[in-house]
Amino acid sequence: MSGFIKQLRSDIFAQCCLFILTMIGLAGIFAPWICTFDPATIDMQAKLLPVSAQHWLGTDHLGRDIFSRLIWGVRSTVFYGLFAMLLTMMLGILIGMTAAIGGKKTDEFIMRLCDVLLSFPGEIMILALVGMLGPGIEHILVAVILVKWAWYARMIRGTVMQYTHKNYVHYSQAIGVSPWRIIRRHLLPVATAELIILASADMGAVILLISGLSFLGLGVQPPTPEWGAMLSDAKNIMLLYPQQMLPAGLAITLTVTAFNGFGDFLRDVLDPDNPLKGTNNE
């Protein structure tokens, strides 16, 4: 832990990414106390107002406060993405461990299913699933989980298979410890670093998917504020009011960049092959 903090202190970009993610998370959590306007309230008399002390980012074409919608949009865009990644990791871990200890036939079946899923572009499959299931954030979450679990399952299975021949695993087997307990106590912890790295890198892609599908009208439905949906609303008046595109566009860009940047930092710190790893652990 001390090594992690030491490297974080020496990496200004990682600090900036962590600060941005922290501020975004806090803004989403405390949105009811930060925002002074209801993000869904329509006031046609206040439409397209410029930036002011009352409306920090102005209002949109329906008179809704853009700042309030941006803050509340953290929950629809970022928190839903985190929720999807958490469920994907849990499903991937469960299936990956099942493949590793379930016998040759079970392993073969699960790995061939993973091969099929990984042979298609994930974004295309998610778009197809959402198209079949219909619009709605819940359908996006289902599609993300169904498509992305294969990456995590294959990684967990590979890690378990790699460490099953270690002496401490053989000893646990000899004294009668159950396979699931061996995986939970000895094998799963060694895969934690890879899980964190993969999930942090995936978060940016999931946020872009949620925003992109909402932009197309397949994601979060009105009047719920969401960054991609805000961009979709702003594009209709982009030629006359191009500034309407900036808040949501910059929010998406900053968030995705922060997740990708911090994910790269975690990869460098947690990667066992990182030459600085040994120094950090001294």
| pLDDT of res. 51 | 92
Q: Is residue 46 part of a domain?
A: no
Structural domain includes residue 118? yes
44, part of any domain: no
Structure tokens at 54: 């009352």
Q: Which residue has the higher pLDDT, 243 or 197?
A: 243
CA–CA distance, 190 with 204 (Å, rounded to integer) = 24
> What is the pLDDT, as a whole number, of residue 199?
85
Burial 89-98 (b: 16+ CB within 10 A, else e): bebbbebbbb
122-147 confidence digits (pLDDT tens): 888 998 899 899 888 899 999 999 99
> What pLDDT, on the 0 to 100 scale, is given for residue 249?
95
Token pair for residue 55? 């409306």
**Span of 16-25, 84-93, 188-197, 262-271 with lowest mean pLDDT:** 188-197
Mean of pLDDT over the chain:
86
Say which CATH number the domain at 244 has: 1.10.3720.10
CA-based nearest residue to 194, from 89, 119, 277:
89
Task: Name the one residue in this structure whose structure tokens are 């995986």.
Answer: 183
pLDDT on residue 2: 66
Global confidence as pTM = 0.86
Asked whether residue 28 is domain-assigned, the answer is yes
Res 277 pLDDT > 50: no
Residue 43 domain-assigned (yes or no):
no
Confidence of residue 180 (pLDDT cuts 50, 70, 90): confident
CA-derived radius of gyration, the chain: 22
Range of the domain at 124: 2-38+57-280
Q: Evaluate whether residue 204 is within a structural domain.
A: yes
Which among 138, 282, 277 has a CA at the least distance from the CA of 210?
Answer: 138
- Average pLDDT over every residue of 270-279: 50
Q: Which long-range contacts (CB under 8 A, 24 or more apart) does 112-117 make?
A: 113/150, 114/150, 114/153, 114/154, 117/147, 117/150
Q: Work out how many domains the chain is built from and give that number.
A: 1
**Looking at the domain assignment, is residue 48 inside a domain?**
no
The 10 Å Cβ neighbour count of residue 178 is: 11
Would you say residue 6 has pLDDT above 90?
no
pLDDT, tens digit, for every residue of 55-111?
Answer: 999 999 999 999 999 999 999 999 999 999 999 988 998 898 888 777 788 889 999
